[in-house]
Structure 1
Amino acid sequence: MKIALLGYGKMGKVIERIALERGHEIVLKKDETNTYDGLETADVAIDFSVPMVAVDNITAAFNQNVPVVCGTTGWLERYDEVVNLCQEKNGAFLYGSNFSLGVNLFFELNAYLAKMMAKFSSVYKVSMEEIHHTQKLDSPSGTAISLAKGVIENSAYTSWTEETASENQIHIDAKRIENVPGTHSVYYSSEVDFIEIKHVAHNREGFALGAVLAAEWIQGKKGVFSMKDVLDLK
């Protein structure tokens, strides 16, 4: 499989290594210094860039009829625009706020717990914490937002905030600490006890492997997908 890397930072370099180990070829390493030359030869593009260029990268790939796996967060206000373009081009698009197998299982656990705890909303208050490295540009993380949505879809909560939370809001405490790949915690607190579920990433390997697996999976497909499709969690 020929892969175009749209974004060649720390994650891009780990993805490159894992892709090569799995027998794939890298035909483009796109950063701010070069063009999209080589994108037209790719079987798939993997975007781990930055929020301000993600949509441009995705659009360039769709215009070359190249499927896109995107792990860049912080641009989702334009998600519907990208989905519409994918459908217009009869393309393939897979977005994930986190490609780690463990995190995607954690998403399912979070939703299941939220559904159970919804009956006891008068007793327990939900809050979240996420910790990432200081180079992360968006806050809160896309993973934290996905976790919040998982609670909202299964409870009476209506939104999330980084400020002081109202009755129907989930407070997300976003912290930036040097050399932390990613830690996400969901808390249910009452006057008498405290329930916590947590996922701790030790390194970037799990994210990168998941992205390559998603790129392998999307071959020959048309439509808009998620890691739930890749891992058959639906």
Structure 2
Amino acid sequence: MKIALLGYGRMGKEIEKIAQQRGHEIVIRDNGEKSYDITTADVAIDFSIPNAAYNNITNCFKNNIPVVSGTTGWLDKYEDALEICKANNGGFIYASNFSLGVNIFFELNNQLAKMMSALDQYKVDIEEIHHTKKLDAPSGTAITLAEGIIENSERKSWELNGEASEEVIPITAVRTPDVPGTHTINYNSVVDAIEIKHTAHNRQGFALGAVIAAEWLKDKQGVFTMKDVLNIG
């Protein structure tokens, strides 16, 4: 499989190593400094920056190249991108986190939220910890976790550094050097606490998941999620 890497930072380089180990060829390494012919690729993997992601992704759709994107911070244009995808019969997977373990964690979060929804004595909050070079806060993964709780409970919204209440989920974003990503869901009451947590030890899990998603998406049309890739949920 011929892969275009749109974004060639730390994640792009990690994806390159995993892809080559799995027998794939990297035909484009886009670091934002030069033009490229996207049609030389079978599939694109976008881990660029927020202000480049939309153009990267829609250029793929217009050239019939399926694209996997893990870039966060551009989702105000997500629905517009989906329209272009559908108009061009494109293939697309967006995930806030491609780690296989994190996607299992998403499902655990959803199920726990359902179980806790009737127990109004518990307040819930989310903490995410990432490296200091992460550009957005809160992380896309934390937002996905918050949305999962909202979909499965009476909570209405999330707030960065907000106060926990019956309707609001506060998210705390911590930036520490050399932390690939840690996400914790806390349910606290006056008598006890319940916590679930995912800790990434390195970036290999994110890279592997993105390559597996690209393998699955090749030659497909439509908008999919990691649930489709992993056949879960």
Residues in 2 aligned to 1:164 and 1:225: alpha-carbon distance in whole angstroms: 32
The answer to whether 1:10 aligns with 2:10 is: yes
Partner residue in 1 for 2:134: 136
TM-score (normalised: structure 2):
0.98
- Alignment-mate amino acid for residue 223 of structure 2: V
Runs of 4+ with >2 A deviation: 163-167
SS at match of 2:199: strand
Q: Deviations over 1:150-175 (max 9, x none)?
A: 10000000110013335411000001
**Using the alignment, how far apart are the partners of 2:42 and 2:75 within structure 1?**
25
Q: Deviations over 1:54-102 (max 9, x none)?
A: 0010011112110000000111111101111100011000001000010
Match of 2:229 in 1: 230
Tell me whether 1:149 sits opposite 2:140 in the alignment: no
Displacement of 1:111 after TM fit? 0.3
1:174-216, CA deviations, whole angstroms, 9 ceiling, x for partnerless residues? 0110000000000000001111000000000000000000000
Please tell me whether the aligned partners of residues 162 and 169 of structure 2 are also in contact (alpha carbons under 8 angstroms): no
Q: Over aligned residue pairs, what C-alpha RMSD do you find? A: 0.8
**2:162·2:171 contact (CA, 8 Å) conserved in 1?**
no
Deviations 1:13-63 (A, max 9, x none): 0000110111101110001211123x1111000000111100010011112
Q: Post-superposition shift, 1:221?
A: 1.0
Given the two structures, how large is their TM-score scaled by the length of structure 1? 0.97
SS of alignment partner, residue 53 of structure 1? helix
Partner of 2:213: 214
1:34 and 2:67 matched: no
Question: SS state of the match for residue 4, structure 2?
Answer: strand
Gaps of 5+ in 1: none
Q: Which residue of structure 1 aligns with residue 49 of structure 2?
A: 50
* SS of structure 1 residue aligned to 2:5: strand
Percent of residue pairs bearing the same amino acid type: 62
Deviating more after overlay: 162-171 vs 185-194: 162-171
Paired AA for residue 26 in structure 2: I
- Count the aligned residue pairs: 232
2:94 match: 95
